[in-house]
Structure 1
Amino acid sequence: MSLLRLGPAAEYIGGTVAALLATWPADPSARTDDEWSALRAALPEGTGSATIRSRTRQITGYLGVYGRPPADLCELEGPPAVARQVSLAAADRQQVAVDRVDDRIVRVWSQLPMCAAPVSYRDWVWHAFDVVLPAIVPAGVKVCTPTLRPGDGKVRVDLPWQTPHTPPRLDGHTRALGVDWGVNTLLTATVADLDPDGTVVVQGRPLRFDATGVSAKLVRLRRHREHLNTKVDHVIRLRDGRPAHTPAEQALTAKLVLLKAEHSAVCARIRHLNKALAWSAARWLVDQATAVGATVIYVEDLATLEGRGGSRSLNRRISGAVRGTVFTAIAHLAAKEGAAVVTVPARGTSSGCPRCGGAVKHVKTPQRSVAGYRWATCSCGLSMDRDHAAAQRIAARGLANQAKTRRGRNGNAAIRTATDTPVRHRTRRPTPAATIPPLRDRRKTVPTPKQTRPATVKTSRLLPLRRQVPAPADSPSRSAGQRPAGRTPQDTNPQGPVSQVPHTIPTTAPRHPHRVRGAALGRGFHRHVHATPVTNRDGSTSRTSGLPRIA
């Protein structure tokens, strides 16, 4: 099969594999300078080091299994797994037609054969079915040929539509949004401006999309999935060792069906949560860029970043598939707003100082100068959050190298090689003197005035104290005196509905519900996603702008 018929991506990968096989060295882990020169000359233009290393490991693994090198990409890669689908876009207008009935209904006509071996046009009959469009599809767009995906007793329709779109410009930007991927915080962004003299000025306010709670949930779901997978393998081994058609074998088969169903449900839950998290983060980031008037979003390219060992959990968190979905969602939503999305090289964004360009020291906190991850300090006086410093460096790297922006084969804009430029922080405006409250005169030159106290006593927000509740008027007088302080006796068999026993709630101290700092639980995409509110350029904040939502 020709690689040209598979598309430009397969052609590019096939050229990379062919170049590696043509210049395969004696020791692929330690190439000489001449071997590297020959390989670079044979590789396609724009091939990165990460692609070379990953394909080299793939070919090495093939050699270890089969004892010979593969012939080409088709032999190196296994057969693709394609889901059940009917791509009507592969047919021409003589077999498929799409008509727009009204704003909400689309009628699809398809000519299908009436027998197994049609020989004339009389063996073909036109069939029609209506598709109800969702509310997100605009009324005046052009609807394209759909793709049908049968499964679970239903037929799902992938119906694309086209809207006129002008690609945003890649250079000439004066305000940008620099975004850094984080391990604990998913996205950290900052606003940067390009002055006429070429200086990059950044704002000191970081923008964060903290999804630590959702990440912890995903980790728990992955552990549960692996535990179920282990149990499935164990039950399969037990079932295979039992005689067929016995009660023990049938019981194990029934248990295996339940475990596989639960495993599929957990996998679906992980996929849905990843997708919701990715689109919510992308929607938040594009809203921030629109609110501050940024015309470009610079994101570091993690395709060139590799896990160097050290920690398997760190490598797994860095290489999460959710980041690819986030980038795709950002590019899709930013195109609607007319903003460009450009990737910049990721090397050195967290290890360099955005002010002077020197090496930074990563510590735990500003007060604890021991080795850590969260905080970055430099000899020039820099002391800020590590992700915030990296976002400033990414924004400066993108604004200073706008002329080097190019579009790749897939249409994504990227800066392949970039030079760093120092950033300058915007000076804060002086606070007006009228807003500064006067200092309290604490000199003892006059007698201390008496303080007026409120007549009422501060009580609990839930239930008042027992001694503050007035006795009912019809209560009989007690000759034995006042009952000592303590819990109020309760009736063991109360008459009528009782919502809650009063003495189960402390009446002496107020109860404060658990609130994560700076969070509004129960609102937005997820109750444990904490994002910086979207503030408009005039300083106003809408009622729902700070809520993480799904696009």
Structure 2
Amino acid sequence: MATATCTAFRGVLESAGERVGQRVLLERVGFLAELSRELTSALVAARWDEDSLDVLAAGVDGRGEALPSKGWMAMRRLNWPQAVPSPAGVHVSDRVRRGAQEYAARTLRLALHRRSIVAAVLATWPADPGRRTEAEWTALRAELPAGVTGAEIRNRTRQVRAYLAEHGRLPAGLCALEGPPQMAGQVLLAAMDRQQVTLARVDTVTARLRVKLPLHAAPATGREWAWHVIDIRLPATIAPDAVLHTPTLRPTPTGRIAVDLPHSRPAAVTKATGHMVALGFDWGLNTLLTGTLGRLTGEGKSRRVLTDGRPLIFDATDLSAKLHRLRGHREHLAAKRDHHQALADGLSSPNPAWGEHLQRVGVLDAEHERVCARIRHLNAATAWSAARWAVDQAVALGASVIYLEDLATLEARGHRKGNARLSGQVRGIVAAAMRHLAARTGIAVVAVPARGTSKRCPNCLQRLTHHPAPDRLHERGWKWAYCAGCRLSMDRDHAAARRIVSRGLLAQTHTTTDRATGVRSIRTIVEGTVAVVRRPKKTTRRLRRQRHAEQTPPRTYGPKATPVKGHPTPTRPAGTHDRGTRRATEQAPGHKTSRRMPDVRTVPATIPATGAVQRPAGHDTTTPAAFRPVPGHGVPAPHRTEEDLPRSGQVRLSHRTCRRRTRAAERTGFHHLHTTEVHPLTPRFGPPDGNRSRPRRARKAWKPQAHTEF
């Protein structure tokens, strides 16, 4: 099941057959959304008390029968809607009331979870709310429901402390601690039947929605409601065989009609246990995801996790910096808007500056909303790109499960430089998108405990120390880790990814599944070491030739031949045997040109009319073709003279190229996202010569001694 947000631009009034523009359609959808919001707010406010929440939490009606799962039906079984009168002089059909009652029931049921946390905190209120003792934490955990995170406990504790400081006493419960929640202007069409809404699929890219909308803000009779036909353009994310469900309508502040269209398609059921190959991903600050592959071997107490040592990187450094700049710009706009609003509040209407301040407030508010929309769009695009990349990696490597560290308890404490970026990342969207995309391919996504994953060594479980990274040798930081016990020196996120995949594979029998959301998690920590299995090096050309020579019987006739070239090596002219250089030599007339020395035209062409000598197009009469650079990336500019070139005739290749940016844009859609290739998987660490002791950033500082263009 997934939800795709579409936009309704225009419709058709079915009775008159005339087209309805976007402005008129937005106005009529707004009338219906406002009626639904008023009915829902009145119903929630009337039942926002401890007794009503107790009845709803019991799950039975007055006759002792279980309440149905549909919210509007449960509300009617409890006879709660009868106590809320309808708006005076407004005709509202029973189907519209169903949608409002469904919205109210969902809101009250969500409040039951917060109510249970507040009740547990109040029942075990500590002597010092700022620091609980071990016994107080044990008593609190015994009262809390399953699945409550530490962030929720701290947030509710702060809320109770603020109430205690203001009133001098503890609150009686959730209803006394906070008021009824605010309702949004939206219409839940899923609770209505064919008398109010119908949905049909026209073709693979179009769906037709028929909905009855009010023609006025306060329709007095049923004649002021009319059927409207709206054609919805389906996005590419909805498969042609997907089943469409009744959507939700909501007008947006930008003047659009958002249609939240649920759709479902059958997917394979993923298993919770029995996994042998897994991927573990660690969250990072600039590197959003750092993963590694793990394989479970052995049985019983001899089980261990093996890894190939290759990190998988989704680097969003540039995009993270851009989002951080946008957040700073948003806060600056909000501060200026509040400042002008305060100045306007201190002035009266006759003052000419009063209108200027209000006008400035409107401009800043609109700009603030645009920046917020930009941040939301970038966050969503980055999250889905990272999730799709992670699932593609799992499919390419044959993994059946993805393990993520559970960072639901992450909070921005103090004033550290990275706290704002760390808290502002889109981990929730990434995890939800990863679960959705992995379910299509039959891959499970499980959350594991995050405590201590970046603190201890994956090989010997000793405490890691801060160490200067190869690209920052002048300072010690959190980026690089070093273990004094086993001499492990590697990126800290990569080391944490190894521990995450080890915790997941070794404790997969403790996997629990939430019945309401289907989210799987592991709360039991099983420590284990990770052994690195080195990959066999690829055979070089020299080794392949030696193996072929050993397996091939010697020939007693003709010159020596190899399967790589397929013909004998010709004799090179004198002066061309120096390794790394090739000097231009003049060829005698009739000399046979070798494969490595292409023929060079030295005779110029003449123009018949004037007899002038002209160089043939595409050929250089002064420099052999073998040594002439080809225009494009990695060659000197055409305006360079021969004196600028090295004396030996070599041409240095330029290191400034846009190939990396082009490949990154092809994979992720962003020029500033750099990820590990899905296939083949290239290691992150080490210069091109195969030395893997330095990271990718150190590779930039490494330069070869000489490059020769052949």
Give the TM-score of the pair, scaled to structure 1: 0.79
| Distance across 1 between alignment mates of 2:425 and 2:168 | 32
Q: What residue in structure 2 maps to residue 169 of structure 1?
A: 271
Contact 2:324 2:421 in 1 (8 A): no
Task: Within 5 Å, give how 1:133-282 maps onto structure 2.
Answer: 133-151=234-252, 152-197=254-299, 198-282=303-387
Contact 1:105 1:130 in 2 (8 A): yes
For residue 375 of structure 1, report the CA deviation from its aligned partner: 1.4
Q: What residue in structure 2 maps to residue 411 of structure 1?
A: 518
* Greater CA drift, 319-328 or 242-251: 242-251
For residue 281 of structure 1, report the CA deviation from its aligned partner: 0.8
**Structure 2 residue 679 is matched with structure 1 residue 535:** yes
Structure 1 residues without counterparts, runs of 5 or longer: 439-446, 469-507, 540-551
The percent of aligned pairs where both chains have the same amino acid is: 48
Please state whether the residue corresponding to 2:391 is helix, strand or coil.
Answer: helix
Q: Which of 371, 381, 386 is the matching residue for 2:492?
A: 386
Q: Which of 308, 318, 330 is the matching residue for 2:434?
A: 330
For residue 433 of structure 1, report the CA deviation from its aligned partner: 7.0
Q: What residue in structure 2 maps to residue 296 of structure 1?
A: 401
**Structure 2 residue 172 is matched with structure 1 residue 71:** yes
Give the paired residue count: 491
| Distance across 2 between alignment mates of 1:353 and 1:519 | 37
Q: What residue in structure 1 maps to residue 142 of structure 2?
A: 41
Contact 2:306 2:532 in 1 (8 A): yes
Contact 1:376 1:384 in 2 (8 A): yes
For residue 146 of structure 1, report the CA deviation from its aligned partner: 1.0
For residue 98 of structure 1, report the CA deviation from its aligned partner: 2.0
C-alpha distance 515-81 of structure 1, shift in aligned 2 (>3 A): farther
| Distance across 1 between alignment mates of 2:179 and 2:269 | 36
Q: What residue in structure 2 maps to residue 543 of structure 1?
A: none
| Distance across 2 between alignment mates of 1:172 and 1:467 | 67
Contact 1:363 1:369 in 2 (8 A): no
Q: What residue in structure 2 maps to residue 314 of structure 1?
A: 418
* Greater CA drift, 45-54 or 331-340: 45-54
| Distance across 2 between alignment mates of 1:452 and 1:141 | 64
Contact 2:401 2:445 in 1 (8 A): yes
Looking at both structures, which has the greater relative contact order when contacts are Cα pairs under 8 Å and sequence separation is at least 6?
A: 1
Amino acid at match of 1:53: R
C-alpha distance 52-250 of structure 1, shift in aligned 2 (>3 A): closer
Deviations 1:355-410 (A, max 9, x none): 11111112122695963211111111212111111001100110011100011242
Task: Within 5 Å, give how 1:32-111 maps onto structure 2.
Answer: 32=133, 35-111=136-212
Task: Within 5 Å, give how 1:398-477 maps onto structure 2.
Answer: 398-408=504-514, 409-429=516-536, 432=539, 435=542, 452-454=582-584, 456=623, 461-465=636-640
For residue 79 of structure 1, report the CA deviation from its aligned partner: 4.3
| Distance across 2 between alignment mates of 1:71 and 1:82 | 24
For residue 219 of structure 1, report the CA deviation from its aligned partner: 1.2
Q: What residue in structure 1 maps to residue 611 of structure 2?
A: none
| Distance across 1 between alignment mates of 2:315 and 2:673 | 6
Q: Which of 464, 483, 488 is the matching residue for 1:360?
A: 464
Deviations 1:49-70 (A, max 9, x none): 4432332122112222333323
Q: What residue in structure 1 maps to residue 449 of structure 2?
A: 345
C-alpha distance 79-270 of structure 1, shift in aligned 2 (>3 A): farther
C-alpha distance 37-193 of structure 1, shift in aligned 2 (>3 A): closer
Contact 1:147 1:158 in 2 (8 A): yes
**Structure 2 residue 115 is matched with structure 1 residue 14:** yes
| Distance across 2 between alignment mates of 1:465 and 1:538 | 36
Q: Which of 670, 686, 691 is the matching residue for 1:526?
A: 670
Q: What residue in structure 1 maps to residue 692 of structure 2?
A: none
